[in-house]
Structure 1
């Protein structure tokens, strides 16, 4: 028995719609009840909110398109000013009629112009006998526009005296929208996050035709068992499922296991899913590079922790400052002569290793260092001469702001500020590679 029933719409369309929006039948049923029949006046404004990837945009697009309801769909991030937003609504409104001609440019400077042009557009497109829906995606951007834009959209049906419903889609709650002066209260509706059962059902629908549905469902079950605690974004999970399925099928393709041999399939895919855990949400490498690495048995990139883009965006001398800070944090003070003076003589490591230094400095954690030591190491590792200008000091402040360095103690100390480097060894090695600096040769723990 179908879950979606409404006397104003054909049963075949509702059945098709139900198949397109799995696990959102209750929300679609509520929306259909609010919309009513085509010629009926609907609620003036509807506010739909929920977390990222909870189906808000997809459900609204699918519902309006499948039932062929006249609508305008605008992303407020793309049209970020009131003029761009109002003009885009009017331009899309010109093409709502099936026999619409080439859309002409529209100039709309104020809200009064929009109301006037909106009435003309609705009359010319013969939309008076059915409800027109204006959907504003990422509606939280409306709070950055003029103060009259949001209240006007909430009361657009009253201002234009036309059968129009404005639907706001957002990731934040209505209480953060409500103006201090008050406004018309929209009908609020919440889209909850997909449960693990919902994700299993939705992702299992994308199974390749050459494999059985049960085989792909078992793979999705394994994938969710690994990633569900750290990632519940449907788009990201769908991307991960498509990326790793070929590796899951390898034992079946080679004839080493059948589709029901879950244990062998799990043992084959487990290490690759753990590698993929390191780059959830981070597009450090492309899908083709990832597949090539899986085929070659390599590691998923040499950068861990932070994205590769962060490394590239650091200025040239900031990279050397960060390297110098890392060396100052993890090398004992008396080793500076050994590493950074040309004529230091032969100094063996065992000669100045004490009992408390048998433990690795990397296990003990970073130690604070003064500013003059940081600059002294910087001048030693940089090939060309670097003057202690204001630019260098501002870059140190920027590294502190980025939390790559942390300031230790108070700012009013007479002996100058002290810092501590907070990045990991993998991170600093990646930084050093971008400037062709072998940092391992300068670390006391690796002698």
Structure 2
């Protein structure tokens, strides 16, 4: 297929980051999205889109411009539907492929890659917890080009797993009230799955239309990193949703791939950030950096210490990417055979990948400046976006706990916990 290119757009009309003004919903697509048919096609489309998205990444970060046209092209390409099962019309790609797709896009613009993460994880949840009727309806939305947002985390709750958003049943509807933050993807979505707690303290997902009365989305994301993810807030005031759109969250009550899927997407974004930073380092050293006076070399690329450092970064990146692929294979095995043992193996392997992708993302984005020299810090290059993105995104869940759970598994035979951060 020909990849849909982002249309030219007047960036002066874009909603800016860190604003308290509500943002109106985006219109739904006027034509159905392309449906990707295979793993190979998914990877090919990802490479084509990444080349397009890389062009304006620095500008969008520097000016705080949301990737509106880019996200439209991205979802219309079919990549947002690649983990819809084949039985429901999707490609049902392997999780090795899904992780690779995200890493490819994150190397170009990690904010764009992150906007997809909750959509893909929620699509996986539908597969695990939805009724057949819900799967038919919700997967049809995805394949048509509709985008799921995210109304999961809350800013003021005691822990990340505590939810104050409530849902009550009222006839043929449910009514939701609450407030969410870190709502990556919600602003540019068409449907917002809201995590809430019902009358029985059971966690549920409520699939509300983005333009439903009572939903207010604000682009008040003020982080120094991942600036154009629109990870601001969603206010939910007496939002009424048909009750057949309520999906119980039961995937963590039994062995499933839900946690590893969420985590491998995070790890893939960090792997992409690392690759993008290393590529930027190599390009800058070749074209802008000067050789150090003590090296006696004509070019910066001939400096033996720089050469060795690039070699070290590449080796660490390849190790992280290899573990990412291993984790994807383990998740695929868990999807086919969700036993306690197989799911624990997938969770541990994904945690191992998360450790290495975090470490190389932070190392590579720091080394960028050491190897490129002082001029690489000039604002016109905006290379600091790589470090800011890595430092912000790797905070999603603490890697120090990955070491603990992995060690506890191998030393004491204790399986890691089952939740979205494991």
What's the TM-score, normalizing by structure 2?
A: 0.26
Flag the structure with larger Rg.
1
Larger RCO, structure (CA 8 Å, separation 6 or more): 2
